[in-house]
Structure 1
Amino acid sequence: MQNRNAPGRLSGHALTNFIATISATGGLLFGYDTGIISSALLQLRNQFHLDTLGAEIVTSAIILGALIGCLGAGSISDRIGRRRTVMIAAALFLLGTVVVSSAQSVAVLVIARLILGLAIGAASQIVPIYIAEVSPPERRGRLVVGFQLAVVFGITSSFVTGYLLRDSSWRLMFGIGMLPALILFVGMAFLPNSPRWLALSGQIEEARAVLRRVRLSDEAADRELEEIIENHDVQAPWSELAKPWVRPALTASVGIALLCQFTGINAVMYYAPTIFADAGFGQDSALLTSVAVGVGMVFATVFGGWAVDTWGRRTLLLRMLPGAVVALAVLGTTFAMHLTGGIGAWITVAAVMAYTIFNTGSLSVAIWLVGAEVYPLSCRGKGMSLVAGSHWGADLLISLTTLSLVQRLGAGWTFWLFAGVNAFAFWFVLRYVPETKGQSLEELERRLRNGTFAPVDRAVARSEARAR
């Protein structure tokens, strides 16, 4: 039996905190590399003579790479393990950062952003799973949300960096990302494998050893391992996700992933400086105001990390989404009434800040957590690939069309449209997203198998369908 109190050897909550912190560095890179483009784009447009389409392509290249990366990462993580897959993502972060920082043409810039996208997609797919599979049920929410906190901290860091380096080269803005990529690669080399992946791979004693390190007692670890083995199955094919018993998990997780983007959060994040400039702020003031948006996202995510384990995932979403609807309605009104400059500009800032807090503190907090929780172990990697793929596919569509949408509909109608999608998201959560707070991953799998997973009982749903 291992000595849990060996000097210099982390165990229990200390080890799970360390695992979550190192792993979440992938989220930091995720946020920084997606967010820095909003500041760098102001310089890139001038240096490479980019028109609106060119700016959208450079912005969106990283999203296309992320879409490819997340869809491929599921099968890879099932074969070689969660930890090694994160290390591959870290290596891609390093490569992409070197290439983007030295790009001399638009083509190389786009290729480099694609490489970074592969890394981001892989990280978004596997890091939440890795943390969820290591964490105890009562702490799983806040630890997985730590990944999203790292994402928004990375976004905020990119806004701060963009402002501080506004008179320096955009190459330095991108190059700063090499340090956290190196930390992620080296740090992951010292972390244990996921005990659930080990068990699924038939490495039962190795899984027991890891669980005994990350739980408060050997007895608790052994009980959890027995529960894992009881629900143990071989790796399932992609077709398993289409089976009726898995479908409620697919609906809830993919729905949240799509709505996280269609409600407009990344559209606001990518083009925040442009929105503020159109509202009457100068370029420097627009960049500085974007920093405030990033800070708001950090505080909203910290709050969400507390709320998911206190209120619950579903309750958090239902309490926060109405605020996002109101904020976007106000934002749309300020643009429709051309309230730019003076008090109108500050109403715009307040509306963007409020929307950012309500949306980031709800859907953006829940997306990776719910996706990592709801799938059965046998197809968790593939299920999370679909969650991440849905997220990045929707993100690609939004980032490619936001500026064009604003030009055709006007900013007012665009934000009113996003307000309507947020209202729809409230209804979707009410009907399809269950509460997962405090339940083990194996308990959630049992709920899927016995038909009690969805908040609306299947029999009730069938009765309502017949009535219609």
Structure 2
Amino acid sequence: MAPAGATAARDGGTGLRPVIGVALVAALGGLLFGYDTGVISGALLQIESDFSLSSFSSGVVVSSILVGAMIGAAGAGNVSDRYGRRPVLIGAAGIFLAGSALAAFAPSATLLTAARIVLGLGIGAASNLVPVFIAEVAPPRVRGRLVGLNQLMITLGIVLAYVANYALKDVPHDWRWMFGLAAVPAALFGLGMCALPESPRWLALNGSTEKARAVLTRVRGGAPATVEAELAEMTAGTAGAAREASGAPRRGRWRALADRSVRPAVVAGVGLQILGQASGVNTVIYYAPKIFESSGLGSSSSILATVGVGVVNLLMTPVGMVAVDRFGRKKLLGTGAVVMALALAGLAATLAAGGQNSSFAWLAVVCVAVFVAAVATTLNVVVFIIPSELYPLRIRGTAMSATMFSNWTMNFLVSLTFLTLLDTLGGAGTFTFYAAVCALLALFTARCIPETRGKSLEQIERELTPRAARVG
């Protein structure tokens, strides 16, 4: 049973404005994530011309950011468990700022690649810690949509990158300006994080109860009784975690991820990343023009259809942010996976039946739009929310490192193999395979993903621990 008054704490009081402000500042990390991954699409042609790049060299420049993201995601969580979420996010802002400047002034493809790796470090750290920081500050009843701000900002960052690409296309050395503009939100992110408090749960875990109380008072805007009730539940949950974590730097936090008590959470969090990426979600976004051309659309029509897909992605993300706290994570993800599977099966059937027939081509566009809408409202919203809620506080940062490392690694592998798969299996066979992965994701959700809607992070941890004992 939760402590008396915990329900009020979970309701978060009536003053949501302070915590929304905190979430918006932290989500600037997501904006940088989206901008720095999307900007290369418009910059690449001029970069290839300026540096006389081969196809292989272009691929190295593009994919280098994923290498940095893997490293950043793997390292940021463990550091944040030791030193706090806030200083690591401030450091990530500095990395974004440095990477943007290095990319803008890079005199060679080699140094541009190095700059992209630096930007990837920031992206990996942000993808890991922004959801954790927001989840640890937010009240349960709106935690889903506040963590979902991260995904909305990622989507907005991609759109802003496309806008910058178009606006700067006639400017000399346009690609340098495209990269350099990211320094502005990076500076705002860093200054904003300097003004924010540390996560109250991290403070409580490390014995700073009075500081945790002050942070809760600042971000809740509610009655003192509400703050005290939430703090009581928080400190009760962190007491045991603090004892276990006290020797963690010596013992190694990574090894703790194999403990029976956290195994179900790790399986759920990491499995979601692997299956989510293996569903082909990013390949559809990355290679949409090629998919549409293979279905029979002309080049200009394919680009126009791709813009429409991007608009669908942006508009449907807020729908998912509202739905995740209304219907729950498990139901939303399970439903979305089924719709994704049906949309990709429809795309496969359309490609098989239509060939280069333009009358079938727009059916392919509809199938892709339905798939992207389902992804935007379900998978892309919960993919950061669910792991940020599941992991025990004592290893939350480290567990998120493992989770986001698996996400970026799978992203890299799927993107790397997509064109080979397309050449080997054809469009129909490739998207039939991805549809099967989506169906597997639906089954995995039903079997392995617990429902966390409306529960405090401490309640979720209590509920998962006995489940782990039964599994072991």
Say whether the fold is shared (TM-score over 0.5).
yes
**1:224 partner letter:** E
Name the structure 2 match of 1:97. Answer: 100
- 1:179 CA displacement: 1.6
Name the structure 2 match of 1:256. Answer: 272
Q: 1:329 to 1:54 in 2, by over 3 A?
A: farther
Q: Percent identity?
A: 43
Matches within 5 A, 1:67-466: 67-168=70-171, 169-215=174-220, 216-232=222-238, 233-234=241-242, 235=245, 236=248, 237-279=253-295, 285-337=301-353, 339-340=355-356, 342-451=358-467, 458=470
Moved more, 339-348 or 242-251: 339-348
- 1:119 CA displacement: 0.2
**In the aligned structure 2, how far is the partner of 1:443 from the partner of 1:123?**
26
Moved more, 47-56 or 226-235: 47-56
Secondary structure of residue in 2 paired with 1:436 = coil
Query: Does 1:37 find its partner at 2:40?
Result: yes
Secondary structure of residue in 2 paired with 1:242 = coil
Q: 1:50 to 1:414 in 2, by over 3 A?
A: farther
Query: Does 1:19 find its partner at 2:19?
Result: no
**In the aligned structure 2, how far is the partner of 1:78 from the partner of 1:243?**
17
Q: 1:272 to 1:172 in 2, by over 3 A?
A: farther
Moved more, 130-139 or 225-234: 225-234
Moved more, 42-51 or 359-368: 42-51
Query: Does 1:66 find its partner at 2:33?
Result: no
- 1:112 CA displacement: 1.2
Q: 1:48 to 1:420 in 2, by over 3 A?
A: farther
- CA RMSD, 1 decimal: 2.2
**In the aligned structure 1, how far is the partner of 2:179 from the partner of 2:22?**
26
Q: Give CA-to-partner distance per residue, 1:175-209, whole Å, 9 cap, x none.
A: 32222111101111111110011111211100011
Q: Give CA-to-partner distance per residue, 1:263-302, whole Å, 9 cap, x none.
A: 1111122223343444455655544433322221122211
Secondary structure of residue in 2 paired with 1:245 = coil
- 1:238 CA displacement: 2.1
Moved more, 227-236 or 44-53: 44-53
Q: 1:340 to 1:51 in 2, by over 3 A?
A: farther
Secondary structure of residue in 2 paired with 1:57 = helix
**In the aligned structure 2, how far is the partner of 1:14 from the partner of 1:94?**
28
**In the aligned structure 2, how far is the partner of 1:95 from the partner of 1:165?**
22
- 1:341 CA displacement: 6.3
Moved more, 311-320 or 93-102: 93-102
- 1:214 CA displacement: 1.8
Q: 1:157 to 1:281 in 2, by over 3 A?
A: farther
Q: 1:383 to 1:446 in 2, by over 3 A?
A: same
Query: Which segments of 5 or more consecutive residues in structure 2 lack a partner in the other structure?
Result: 1-13
Structure 1 runs of 4+ with >6 Å offset: none
**In the aligned structure 2, how far is the partner of 1:443 from the partner of 1:402?**
41
Q: 1:163 to 1:345 in 2, by over 3 A?
A: farther
TM-score, normalization by structure 2: 0.89
Q: Give CA-to-partner distance per residue, 1:251-272, whole Å, 9 cap, x none.
A: 1111111122111111122223
Name the structure 1 match of 2:3. Answer: none
Secondary structure of residue in 1 paired with 2:391 = coil
- 1:47 CA displacement: 4.6
Q: 1:62 to 1:444 in 2, by over 3 A?
A: same
Name the structure 1 match of 2:4. Answer: none
Secondary structure of residue in 1 paired with 2:287 = helix
- 1:405 CA displacement: 2.5
**In the aligned structure 2, how far is the partner of 1:363 from the partner of 1:265?**
9
**Contact 2:81–2:394 (8 Å) recurs in 1:** no
**In the aligned structure 1, how far is the partner of 2:311 from the partner of 2:110?**
33
Q: 1:329 to 1:171 in 2, by over 3 A?
A: farther
Q: Give CA-to-partner distance per residue, 1:324-359, whole Å, 9 cap, x none.
A: 112212223343445446333322322221111112
**In the aligned structure 2, how far is the partner of 1:248 from the partner of 1:308?**
22
- 1:38 CA displacement: 2.9
**Contact 1:324–1:355 (8 Å) recurs in 2:** yes
Secondary structure of residue in 2 paired with 1:410 = helix
**In the aligned structure 2, how far is the partner of 1:255 from the partner of 1:268?**
21
- 1:108 CA displacement: 1.9
Name the structure 2 match of 1:5. Answer: none
- 1:406 CA displacement: 2.1
**Contact 1:322–1:423 (8 Å) recurs in 2:** yes
- 1:444 CA displacement: 0.5
TM-score, normalization by structure 1: 0.89
Q: Give CA-to-partner distance per residue, 1:79-113, whole Å, 9 cap, x none.
A: 22111111111111111112222334322222111
Name the structure 1 match of 2:11. Answer: none
Aligned residues: 446
Query: Which segments of 5 or more consecutive residues in structure 1 lack a partner in the other structure?
Result: 1-10, 463-468
**2:135 partner letter:** A
**In the aligned structure 2, how far is the partner of 1:382 from the partner of 1:452?**
19
Q: 1:41 to 1:324 in 2, by over 3 A?
A: farther
Q: Give CA-to-partner distance per residue, 1:99-132, whole Å, 9 cap, x none.
A: 2223343222221111110000000111111100
- 1:60 CA displacement: 1.6
